[in-house]
Amino acid sequence: MISVLETYDIDFEKRIVLKEFDGHIEAPNWTPDGKKLLYNSAGKIYSFDLKTGASLTVYTGKCNACNNDHVLSPDGQYLAISAGTNRLPLSRIWVLPIAGGEPRLITKKYPSYLHGWSPDGETLAYCAKRKNGYDVYTISMQGGPETRLTDAPGLNDGPEYAPDGKTIWFNSVRTGLMQLWKMDANGGSQTQVTFSRDRNSWFPHVSPDNRRVVYIAYRAGDVKPGSHPPNKDVEIRMLDLESGATETLLGLFGGQGTMNVNSWAPDSSRFAFVSYHVGRRLSRHGGNLLSELAF
């Protein structure tokens, strides 16, 4: 398996290959200073320098089973991860310094999968399985009691705050296929946004300028509505929040791991994602570091 770390430039409508990796990497986050991407691989978190192309391991202490649900604080000082430990391998949410350090446990209950951090830095939004299935919850970044925001049947997942902090975007299977939804930050006014009849739509990522939302879409017949597996032909689609128009930006082989968490650049000009290739390297065809990839 070859993992390809890429970006997509909105204005120029171009894919750019940053680097190819032997093995499996997932879910890039862009740092607020625009200089690095963070991703996970084999239970660890890595920092990728956009200038040099070098990757460094971020020390996460006892959390040696980090998954693809990790988010940076708005001020860039902290990293929140979803991870297990040797003692308890199931996913819980932890916070640590962005440069690495001993993690501090936020959610005592499990499994919990982080997706959003409020713009004021005070609150985390996540998907968690409790007695009644998977729903959207929030919690203070200091820990404490959690607040349940959704209670609809089926899976409710992928919560991310809009840049103004007033709205949370998420995806829900409550109407049949997986669709994008949004709600007030307190869980009120839950409103369906996409109404696709042939796609399952996952993980809405709002651009920092609050103009666009990009997300992953599976063909309806390829997966069950509540499933987002890897190694599938998927689309990255974009919703224009000003016009309401939705378009497919590109198709790729990916799915789980491609774009689980928000990966917009700070200036909203591009976003990062991961595609996957079996048995061949793009560099044989000119797809090397910082090169354009035709599609």
**Residue at 255 is within a domain:** yes
β-pair partners for 49: 36
Cα Rg, the chain, nearest whole Å: 18
pLDDT(286) > 60? no
User: What pTM does this model have?
Assistant: 0.94
Task: Check which CATH number belongs to the domain holding 215 and give it.
Answer: 2.120.10.30
Domain count, the chain: 1
Residue 42 φ/ψ, nearest 5 degrees: 50, 40
**Residue at 293 is within a domain:** no
Which class for 101: exposed (0-12), middle (13-18), buried (19 or more C-beta within 10 A)? middle
**Residue at 295 is within a domain:** no
| Model pLDDT, residue 281 | 59
Q: What average pLDDT does this structure show over 100-114? A: 97
Over residues 242-254, the pLDDT tens digits come to 999 999 999 999 9
Domain that holds residue 181: 2-286
Residue 108 CB: number of other CB atoms within 10 A?
12
Report yes or no: 41 and 25 within 8 Å, Cβ to Cβ.
Answer: yes
pLDDT(186) > 60? yes
pLDDT(282) > 80? no
CA distance 51 to 49: 5
Cα 174 to Cα 151, 179, 189, 210: the distances in Å are 10, 8, 15, 26
Helix (H, G, I), strand (E, B) or coil at 282: helix
Among 167, 160, 139, 143, CA closest to 72: 160
**Residue at 163 is within a domain:** yes
| Model pLDDT, residue 290 | 46
pLDDT(292) > 80? no
Summary mean pLDDT of the chain: 94
**Residue at 199 is within a domain:** yes
| Model pLDDT, residue 266 | 98
**Residue at 294 is within a domain:** no
Over residues 208-234, the pLDDT tens digits come to 999 999 999 999 999 999 999 999 999
